Amino acid sequence: MADALQSLSLDAQQAASMATAVNGDFVARHARSQHVLREGDALLCFTAITGG
């Protein structure tokens, strides 16, 4: 997963503020380097949006 995220060319602030999920399951920032993506996995990257 870390390699896939690195290929997005995000800066440090973007990467730190982004949340990730694989197949609908949240993957914590500290667990990304150990999470292995498999064929067919859906990786979702998103940032929180605030407002009123």
CA–CA distance, 22 with 42 (Å, rounded to integer): 6
Series of mean pLDDT values for 10-residue runs along the chain (52 residues) = 86 85 94 95 87 70
Where exactly are the structural domains of the chain?
2-47
pLDDT at residue 5, as a whole number: 85
pLDDT tens per residue across span 24-34: 999 999 999 99
What pLDDT score does 8 carry?
A: 86
Give me the pLDDT at residue 52, please: 67
Phi/psi for 14 (5° steps) reads -65, -45
pLDDT for position 22: 97
pLDDT of 30: 92
Cα separation, 36 vs 52, whole angstroms: 37
